Structure 1
Amino acid sequence: MGLYVQKYGGTSVGSVERIEAVAEKIAGFKANGHDVVVAVSAMSGETNRLLGLAGEISEQPAPRELDVLVSTGEQVTIALLCMALHKRGVEARSYTGNQVKILTDSAHTKARIRNIDIENMRGDLEQGRVVVVAGFQGVDEDGNITTLGRGGSDTTGVALAAALGADECQIYTDVDGVYTTDPRVVEGARRLEKITFEEMLEMAGQGSKVLQIRSVEFAGKYKVPLRVLSSFVDGPGTLITLEEEGSAMEQVVVSGIAFNRDEAKVTVLGVPDTPGAAAKILAPIGSANIEVDVIVQNISADNTTDLTFTVHRNEVEKAKSILETVAKEVGAREVISDSKVAKVSIVGVGMRSHAGVASTMFEALANDNINIQMITTSEIKIAVIIEERYLELAVRALHSAFGLDADTVTED
């Protein structure tokens, strides 16, 4: 008998009927003698509804008050789920992030977990109760409610599993595992039985929406066995593991194609080509808590250069506003932006030991007349920035070029 931490996303608890179904699944685990801790999201659409209300009041609501508001969505879910479990004769107790307590830093709307107090949860588990915890939220040292950012319930689930030493963290969502790419874009996409933490981290970082990147970081750091499953259909899901050796994985050069539509490109033109200029430009962006992704600096001409980088599309205007002031200070000529770009990436541990991966990728894109604007690489990833209108065409081309289509793969 084991200890399982299960996380259920918004679609999994999107209605009373779905909450009842989740309770039935949890009751089954208890009936088999397992201990269960559950982290849940707000009901599907609830967080957006609350953000909409905030937007009706203010275009830029105070982050502290925004966290107070949006954290209420999960509180509804934990109470309803406990009621559904009680109806089935299963003892259960709900906890908000504050009650657990999940201690975070004070970065409202993007807080990071520092520590989790497991004493009350351990006591409940010893009494045979199911523990139901509100995902996505915590509390800082001053007692302020904080939230962990979009997808933060995944991080809550993995962090609880790490703190409790769970046998497995199961992420239940509306898909039945991790696929070679989004099946809505490529009909022949396949579910992966297994993927490494390293590959999943790159997939999440490059735009895969199955798991929040911080949850994968947590799982890899604390070696938490992680499995992605469907709330709607039974199946083995996808196991995310430390393993990367073995013939099966060595045969696979690219495991998946990730993409992100939420990209925007910012370019600072005519930057003086002097030591420290890039730091002066990027430091204020970091201080504003704006995450920078791909960075490219052109070859110097006339003692100036152009610095281009990508940010989340929702933050491009904020970034541009900051940079227009910075550009004057460093003597740059102009700041321009482009919100009609997207990122597509190939990911696979097999890339370490196979040559010609980049050329295959670039040739596949060229064959469809897709121009590459920016390139970034790691040992197991190549990502490119392209025009957004070509994104789905690029994903399909690459999925086929690397033999990931279902009808081109023979599984042992």
Structure 2
Amino acid sequence: MALIVQKYGGTSVGTVEKIENVADKVIASRQAGHDVVVVVSAMSGETNRLIELASQVSDQPDPREYDVLVSTGEQVTIALLSMALNARGYPARSYTGSQVHILTDSAHTKARILDIDESRMRTDLDQGRVVVVAGFQGRDEENNITTLGRGGSDTTAVALAAALKADECQIYTDVDGVYTTDPRVVADARRLQRITFEEMLEMASLGSKVLQIRAVEFAGKYNVNLRVLSSFEEGPGTLITYEEQADMEQPVISGIAFNRDEAKLTILGVPDQPGMAFSILGPIGDANIEVDMIIQNVGADGTTDFTFTVHRNDYDKTLKLLQDVAGKLGAREVAGDKSIVKISLVGVGMRSHAGVASQMFETLAREGINIMMISTSEIKISVVIEEKYLELGVRALHSAFQLEQEMTL
């Protein structure tokens, strides 16, 4: 008998009818002979409603009380799902994160899981019950309620699967798997049968919103097989695993990720001397602003131009900091651009295939798309281009690398 952890997000449990649909899916797994632990999010829109209530009371709510408030959404869902299962003759028991002893650190609103006591869940499973657990939450060593940050229910599910040594962790969403790229941009994007943890981590970090990146990291660390499935239609989904495909050659490129939330800043005419990079980026890091891609050019006059990208939401704050830095360093000027995007090719097959970068650059050049910045790693190549060329670039690359075709020997 396999043990499966299933996670259902807010859109999957958005109404009573959808919760009953989830109950039917859980029952189907039980009828197939599996033990099931279910992790659920709050009903869609509920967490936003609770956050809005908090904002009406205080501009800066106390973090402890904020967690107490926003954690209540999942409590409604676990109770309703357990009621639905019990009404259908399948015994179920609901638990908050605190009740199943999901121990976290004390970083309210963004806590990290430290330990899980699975004994209570084991007892229920041994007695034939379905265990229904609230996602997104836990408790710290002082018994304070904590939350894991938005999307934290994915992490809860993976952590429970790791603690219980489950055979598979199934993440049910409003999409039926991981695609070669966003089907809304490329109509013939293809659902992947499987993808490695490395590739999924890159896809998640580069803009793919299918899974929370912390959940993928957790799954990779504890070797938990993840499967992304649709809540609304049947299908095999996409398996995320360490295991290589035994019967198929690994494709060079698995997918194309892109991120619209990019902004570029340049400080020009900085003296070219040791310590300049730290002088520029130190204040940015101190402001808790994450820097992505970096390029430094050396000029002929002993000065350098230094360019980097940040999240678009951090642009205005970063620009002001950079202007302050420019004044102190005697730089010539500061320039910025919020109309850029990042496109990335991802694939473990790059390790054994040369020429991927040149093919990418040639494809974009053929479409008249200028590349502003380039970043590479062992399994990815990222470029920054003008935002207006995003969809054209993604479609051209998807076609050039024939990602719409299944890999066959």
- Whether TM-score is above 0.5 comes out as yes
Structure 1 CA distance for aligned equivalents of residues 43 and 166 of structure 2: 25
Residue 384 of structure 1 aligns with an amino acid whose one-letter code is: V
Structure 2 CA distance for aligned equivalents of residues 4 and 343 of structure 1: 36
Residue 36 of structure 1 aligns with an amino acid whose one-letter code is: V
Structure 1 residue aligned with 2:349:
350
Residue 294 of structure 2 aligns with an amino acid whose one-letter code is: I
Structure 2 CA distance for aligned equivalents of residues 198 and 71 of structure 1: 31
| Stretch moving more, 202-211 or 279-288 | 279-288
**Secondary structure, aligned partner of 2:6:** strand
Is the CA contact 1:244–1:349 (under 8 Å) kept in the aligned structure 2?
no
Q: CA RMSD in A?
A: 2.5
Structure 2 residue aligned with 1:395:
394
Q: 1:62 and 1:102, CA in 2 relative to 1: closer, same or farther beyond 3 A?
A: same
Structure 2 residue aligned with 1:72:
72
Structure 1 unpaired stretches of 5+: none
TM-score (norm 1): 0.90
- 1:317 is displaced (CA, Å) by 3.3
Structure 2 residue aligned with 1:382:
381
| Mapping for residues 8-407 of structure 1, pairs under 5 Å | 8-56=8-56, 61=61, 63-244=63-244, 246=246, 248-250=248-250, 252-300=251-299, 302-327=301-326, 332=331, 335-406=334-405
Residue 177 of structure 2 aligns with an amino acid whose one-letter code is: G
Residue 171 of structure 1 aligns with an amino acid whose one-letter code is: I
**Secondary structure, aligned partner of 1:11:** helix
Q: 1:282 and 1:410, CA in 2 relative to 1: closer, same or farther beyond 3 A?
A: closer
Structure 2 CA distance for aligned equivalents of residues 284 and 203 of structure 1: 29
| Stretch moving more, 270-279 or 171-180 | 270-279
Residue 124 of structure 2 aligns with an amino acid whose one-letter code is: D
Structure 1 CA distance for aligned equivalents of residues 192 and 341 of structure 2: 25
| Stretch moving more, 22-31 or 68-77 | 68-77
Q: 1:319 and 1:156, CA in 2 relative to 1: closer, same or farther beyond 3 A?
A: farther
Any idea what the Cα deviations from partners look like across 1:253-273, whole Å, max 9, x if unmatched?
111111112222333444443
Is the CA contact 1:170–1:227 (under 8 Å) kept in the aligned structure 2?
yes
- 1:360 is displaced (CA, Å) by 1.0
Q: 1:354 and 1:38, CA in 2 relative to 1: closer, same or farther beyond 3 A?
A: same
Structure 2 unpaired stretches of 5+: none
Count how many residue pairs are aligned between Structure 1 and Structure 2: 409
Structure 2 CA distance for aligned equivalents of residues 299 and 210 of structure 1: 40
Percent identical residues? 72
Any idea what the Cα deviations from partners look like across 1:351-376, whole Å, max 9, x if unmatched?
11111111111111122222222211
Any idea what the Cα deviations from partners look like across 1:313-368, whole Å, max 9, x if unmatched?
23333444554555555555655443322211111111111111111111111222
Residue 106 of structure 1 aligns with an amino acid whose one-letter code is: S
Q: 1:319 and 1:221, CA in 2 relative to 1: closer, same or farther beyond 3 A?
A: same
Residue 386 of structure 1 aligns with an amino acid whose one-letter code is: I
- 1:244 is displaced (CA, Å) by 3.3
Q: 1:355 and 1:270, CA in 2 relative to 1: closer, same or farther beyond 3 A?
A: same
- 1:238 is displaced (CA, Å) by 0.9
Residue 39 of structure 1 aligns with an amino acid whose one-letter code is: V
- 1:81 is displaced (CA, Å) by 1.3
